[in-house]
Amino acid sequence: MDENVVEQTMDEEPVGADAARLLYADDARRLSDFARRLVATERDHAPGDYVHEALLLLKQAERLAELAVVVERTRGATWPEIGAAAGGITKQSAQRRWADAAATVDALADGIGADALRSRKAATSRKLAEDLDAWYLRHLEPSDVADDTDQPVSGYLTRTPTPRGPARRVPAEIIRPNLLEAPSIGSDEAAGGGLGPTGGTPDKSR
């Protein structure tokens, strides 16, 4: 094997692109659960609640897009490629739009930290991936395609050798915690059956 390649095993915690993809998957799950709860029509709504909910969903979708940029960068995509995918904007515009992505990429070189995992209700990255496996399989539709129906998330982590290279480190205090940690909406709220802290409409003070 190439000496510039680090071979990872399935028992190791994912780092780099695998860690970024795992965060992306978890945020997508939470966004999906939140959107699903908007379908029900029986909840009471005060004036402006529908707009508030839709804008909250949009905000979390924008966060998912930022994580997508992190995934792309950890996988080696260039800024011109990201700009092209974002509707043909220049690489400079893409860099400005997602300026915080670089710090998250650096942080994930060491994997997902304990605080970030705790916010996502998981003790380890592997456990988070297994939770996502179970969630995906619960929501699997006949038309969905999954190469690995037993492990649609965890089955693809750390299977690809990770290139070795100089990893830049940044102080933990300047990493944006709202990207590494769980979003304010998510599947952990689903058990309560509501969108807000009391099971009704969202708390607009947050």
pLDDT of residue 178: 59
Could you list the pLDDT tens digit for every one of the 206 residues in the chain? 444 444 444 457 899 999 999 999 999 999 999 999 999 887 788 999 999 999 999 999 999 999 999 999 999 999 999 999 999 999 999 999 999 999 999 999 999 999 999 999 999 999 999 999 999 999 988 888 766 678 889 988 865 444 444 434 434 344 444 578 888 775 444 333 445 433 444 444 44
| Side chain identity, residue 137 | L
Number of structural domains the chain divides into: 1
**Side chain identity at 35, as an amino acid letter?**
A
Residue 195: what pLDDT? 52
* Within a domain: 201: no
14 DSSP assignment: P
What is the structure's pLDDT at 158? 64
Distance CA 135, CA 137 (A): 6
Q: Which two tokens stand for residue 170?
A: 């940044």
Alpha carbon of 86 to those of 57, 114, 119, 139, 198: distances in Å? 19, 32, 29, 29, 38
Three-state helix/strand/coil letters over 116-185:
HHHHCCCCCHHHHHHHHHHHHHHCCCCCCCCCCCCCCCHHHCCCCCEECCCCCCCCHHHCCHHHHCCCCC
* C-beta separation of 158 from 18 below 8 A: yes
Q: Is 6 helix (H, G, I), strand (E, B) or coil?
A: strand
In a domain, 202, yes or no: no
SS3 5: strand
Query: Does a structural domain hold residue 152?
Result: yes
Where in the sequence is the domain holding 119, given as residue range(s)?
7-189
Residue 204 located in a structural domain: no
List, in sequence order, every residue forming a beta bridge with 6; answer none if it has no partner: 162
